[in-house]
Amino acid sequence: MSMTGFGRASKDSSLGRVMIEIQSLNRKHFELQIYLPKELSRFEYEMRKWISDRVVRGFITVRVQWVPSQEKMSQFLPDPELLQNLKEKWESLAGSLGFEKKTIDLSFLLQYMPSMSSVDALQEQDEKELRLCVDAAMDRLIQMRQNEGKVLQKDLEGRLKTMESQVKSIEDLSVSSMERARQKLQEKIKALISDTDERWMREIALLVEKMDITEEITRLGSHFSQFRETLQGSQKAVGRKMDFLVQEMGREINTIGSKSMDVEISRWVVAMKSELEKVREQIQNIE
């Protein structure tokens, strides 16, 4: 599943009209930002839980727009009787201090109105309606992430096959390359000394052994196998595991490059590094 996606949903309910947009971008860890109207801020904790239960990686931005129903609107408006009492008290205070009573207007009163909690105005049913809208937006977001994930999977499988083919070419070359290296070393030593004794032969064997890349090729095969299993598996989050496997592949390829003295093998190593870098870029967007 890709980390990039977008989902939108709207719903008419007893709460009013709610529209939710959820956007997801790639990020190493999970981050969530929610922008809620202040009247719905009491639901932020619940929304965080609903969303984090369905995605585990990426930068998620949630924006909620709300047009309350007439019933809800009246519940959030200030109490007229309380507002009238407040106006009279402020006007009395203003008069006793020598200020004009006309300065006590509606905006002034609302500014100094005792804070009214919206908790009582929002019922359990409203939370259920809000969750339905969040779930609908999340369904669309996840569907988009899954669709893009299929494209990424196909691309990565193709690149994995390419790298396996490249390793096979390196493996085929390595046997003849080591033999050629052994022969060159023997010829150089013979040119320097008259007799090639057993000690020199052991030195040649040790030097050629250091050039052996069989172990690196075996480990690369294991990494490729694990990467393919991860690609075709059903785990919920695989991006971090893929990232680790790519790092390990890079180490083995670098070791092959440092050991090899063969020009053709060096060319294949460069080609593999290029292919691996493309894989690395792709998996940065996989959950």
What residue ranges do the domains of the chain occupy? 5-72+122-146, 80-111, 149-283
Q: What's the rounded mean pLDDT across residues 239-264?
A: 90
Do 142 and 7 form a contact (C-beta atoms < 8 A)?
Answer: yes
Q: 149-283 is classed in which CATH architecture? A: Up-down Bundle (1.20)
Separation in Å, CA 210 to CA 6, 15, 182:
52, 73, 12
- Rounded to an integer, the average pLDDT of 6-35 is 91
Nearest-5° Cα angle at 223, 229 to 280: 90
Task: State the pTM of this model.
Answer: 0.69
pLDDT (0 to 100) of residue 183? 67
CATH number of the domain at 5-72+122-146, please? 3.30.230
Residues 60, 33: Cα–Cα separation, whole Å: 6
Q: Confidence class of residue 207 from pLDDT cuts 50, 70 and 90?
A: low
Rama region for 176: left / alpha / beta (φ>0; ψ in -120 to 50; rest):
alpha
Residue 151: the pLDDT is 94
